[in-house]
Amino acid sequence: MSKKQNGRTIAFHNLGCKVNSYETEAMLRQMTEQGWQSVPFEPGADVYVINTCTVTNIADRKSRQMLHRARMMNPNALVVAVGCYAQVAGKGLLKDPAIDLIVGNDEKSRLPELIEKRLSGGEDAVFVREIGQVKEFEELPFGGSSEKTRAFIKIEDGCNQFCSYCLIPFARGRVRSRTPENTLQEAGQLASEGYQEIVLTGIHMASYGLDLPGDAGHLDSYGEPLLHLIEDLARIDGIRRIRLGSLEPRIITPAFAARMADIPKLCPHFHLSLQSGSNGVLKRMNRKYTAEAFEEEMQALREAFDEPALTTDVIVGFPGETEEEFDETLRFLERVKFYETHIFRYSRRAGTLADKMPNQIPEPVKAQRSALLQALNLKNKEAYEAALLGKEREILLEERLPEAGEDIWTGFTPEYVKLAVKAPGAVQGECRTVTVTNDMFLR
């Protein structure tokens, strides 16, 4: 392990979800505030930190691969495994000679201290608590993302749902909410730094606030604490857009959708994970809603907002998924017409109920079903984008494309549709209103 004391360098690599991205940025900020120099994830760094993911077997494998890559890039470096895979695998990772330090999901705020102790010869290498017993939201340093245009704010951690295929409650623990005061304080700071858009994120964001003491956690109905928080955030000067991460489908009612529509700064882009259009599969998944109820919730959003972008996740090849059940999902997606559908092949996870279910689906069948949904997804996406042609949309400019022309920038509409637009004299983070044309779409 490297013990250089001057000009020490650290490289981060993030795997997984937007919550992980937020936490990686926060950990990076912690380390730079302690005098560490951030460098690319390339050979030569003194410390490598991999924020791992465990949502699928592939995510586990990618986490191991990146840890091993770090070791190969500098055999003398300190290699740190942080996050969900580190939490679930725990002490078992000590068997891997590529890894020097293992930090669980509720110890990230201690990263500078733990790295210093290990570099100073400390023998302790595993800092993983029983995450299910953790009751408090772990605060990390405020700060935006390296994109410099939109910033993520983590408002919640953990999940109480225990879907039969999912390890996340074991990796992230139970629902823990950030206080409104701390959330608003960070949002205010980000606005003062010039960020135009904030994205609220969490593991099960619909449960935000239900665990908080006092009025914050005992409002009238499911979703009320989240709505109150969004309304408060919208009052902050300087914030132009508020975007939501993934929501629990059951949170959407006509009244909830109408309240959201009354917040002009809220982007009309909603991601609600369907997972299956078959009620039989949903029941085996322990998803706690029906396909019919989900469709009603989509209709409530479409009635409240003008052409909202609705996106979702679907798992194909769940144990016991018959051809008829898959066809129910296919027909559901044809009817509901999401803007985008993220399609995943079911991945067995040891320790979950689904792992022990009979009638596991062969991989070739999963691949065939996935291909059918991918083709439908492309068709639905093109149809949604075609409906935007000729309409005016505000674009938040993020990146200039010099190879496409000096004044060509990419950015996102409020619906999170990425466009390339001509914007003479523009600067990063500026908003421009354009009339959408077919050549603007990045395909």
- pLDDT tens profile 12-63: 999 999 999 999 999 999 999 999 999 999 999 999 999 999 999 999 999 9
Say if 1 falls within a structural domain: no
In this structure, are 193 and 279 located in the same domain? yes
Say if 139 falls within a structural domain: no
Answer whether residue 7 shows pLDDT above 90.
no
Q: Count CA atoms closer than 13 A to 286's CA, side-chain side.
A: 11
CB of 399 within 8 A of CB of 373? no
Using a 10 angstrom Cβ sphere, with 0-12 exposed, 13-18 middle and 19 or more buried, the burial of residue 148 is middle
CB proximity list for 214: less than 8 A, separation 6 or greater: none
Element at 295 (helix H, strand E)? helix 291-304
Phi/psi of residue 417, each to 5°?
Answer: -95, 125
Answer whether residue 201 shows pLDDT above 50.
yes
Q: According to the model, what pLDDT value does residue 368 have? A: 98
Answer whether residue 145 shows pLDDT above 80.
no
Mean pLDDT score, 392-397: 96
In this structure, are 197 and 86 located in the same domain? no
Query: Which contacts (CB < 8 Å, 24+ apart) does range 299-305 have?
Result: 300/252, 300/253, 300/254, 300/256, 300/257, 301/252, 301/257, 301/270, 303/254, 303/257, 304/254, 304/257, 304/258, 304/260, 304/261, 305/257, 305/260, 305/261, 305/268
The mean of the pLDDT values for the chain is 93
In this structure, are 368 and 225 located in the same domain? yes
Q: According to the model, what pLDDT value does residue 244 have? A: 97
CB atoms within 10 A of CB 425: 6
pLDDT tens, position by position, 402-441: 776 778 999 999 999 999 999 999 999 999 999 999 999 9
Q: Decide which of 345, 366, 386 is a domain's last residue.
A: 386
Using alpha carbons only, give the angle 420, 423, 429 rounded to the nearest 5 degrees: 85
Rounded CA-CA distance 161/174 in Å is 9
Say if 217 falls within a structural domain: yes
Band of the pLDDT at 222, cuts 50, 70, 90?
Answer: confident
Q: Decide which of 386, 406, 431 is a domain's last residue.
A: 386
Band of the pLDDT at 141, cuts 50, 70, 90?
Answer: confident
Rounded CA-CA distance 346/373 in Å is 14
E-state strands within 322-368: 340-345
Answer whether residue 92 shows pLDDT above 80.
yes
In this structure, are 397 and 287 located in the same domain? no
In this structure, are 419 and 382 located in the same domain? no
Answer whether residue 443 shows pLDDT above 80.
no
Indicate the number of domains in the chain: 3
pLDDT tens, position by position, 260-284: 999 999 999 999 999 999 999 999 9
In this structure, are 67 and 110 located in the same domain? yes
In this structure, are 33 and 176 located in the same domain? no
Q: Decide which of 340, 364, 386 is a domain's last residue.
A: 386
CB atoms within 10 A of CB 275: 24
Say if 144 falls within a structural domain: no
Answer whether residue 252 shows pLDDT above 50.
yes
The pair of structure tokens assigned to 46 is 């003194």
Say if 82 falls within a structural domain: yes
CB proximity list for 181: less than 8 A, separation 6 or greater: none
Say if 134 falls within a structural domain: no
Q: According to the model, what pLDDT value does residue 5 have? A: 44
> What end-to-end distance do the CA atoms of the chain give, in Å?
45
Q: According to the model, what pLDDT value does residue 4 have? A: 44
158: domain range? 150-386
pLDDT tens, position by position, 104-121: 999 999 999 999 999 999
β-strand 408-412 against 392-400: which pairing, if any?
antiparallel
CB atoms within 10 A of CB 122: 12
In this structure, are 400 and 371 located in the same domain? no
Rounded CA-CA distance 22/24 in Å is 5
* Best CA proximity match to 344, nearest among 325, 319, 369, 364: 369
Q: What is the dihedral of CA 241, 244, 249, 253, to 10 degrees?
A: -30
Question: DSSP letters of 129-177?
Answer: --GGG--SPPP------TTSSEEEEEEEE------TT--HHHHH-S-EE
Rounded CA-CA distance 251/253 in Å is 6
CB of 251 within 8 A of CB of 226? yes
Say if 135 falls within a structural domain: no
In this structure, are 281 and 197 located in the same domain? yes
Mean pLDDT score, 322-348: 97
CB proximity list for 70: less than 8 A, separation 6 or greater: 11, 13, 41, 48, 50, 77, 79, 98
Say if 136 falls within a structural domain: no
CATH number at residue 122: 3.40.50.12160
CB atoms within 10 A of CB 307: 13
Q: According to the model, what pLDDT value does residue 402 have? A: 77
For residue 82, the cross-strand partners are 51, 103
In this structure, are 243 and 380 located in the same domain? yes
Band of the pLDDT at 335, cuts 50, 70, 90?
Answer: very high
CB proximity list for 25: less than 8 A, separation 6 or greater: 143, 144, 145, 146, 152
Q: According to the model, what pLDDT value does residue 220 have? A: 54
How would you list the strands of the sheet with 241-244, edge to edge? Answer: 176-177, 150-157, 197-202, 241-244
Answer whether residue 218 shows pLDDT above 90.
no
Q: According to the model, what pLDDT value does residue 144 have? A: 67
Answer whether residue 299 shows pLDDT above 90.
yes
Q: According to the model, what pLDDT value does residue 3 have? A: 42
CATH number at residue 189: 3.80.30.20
Mean pLDDT score, 70-92: 97
In this structure, are 403 and 372 located in the same domain? no
Band of the pLDDT at 147, cuts 50, 70, 90?
Answer: low
Region of poorest pLDDT, from 30-39, 70-79, 220-229, 230-239: 220-229
Answer whether residue 6 shows pLDDT above 60.
no
In this structure, are 319 and 414 located in the same domain? no
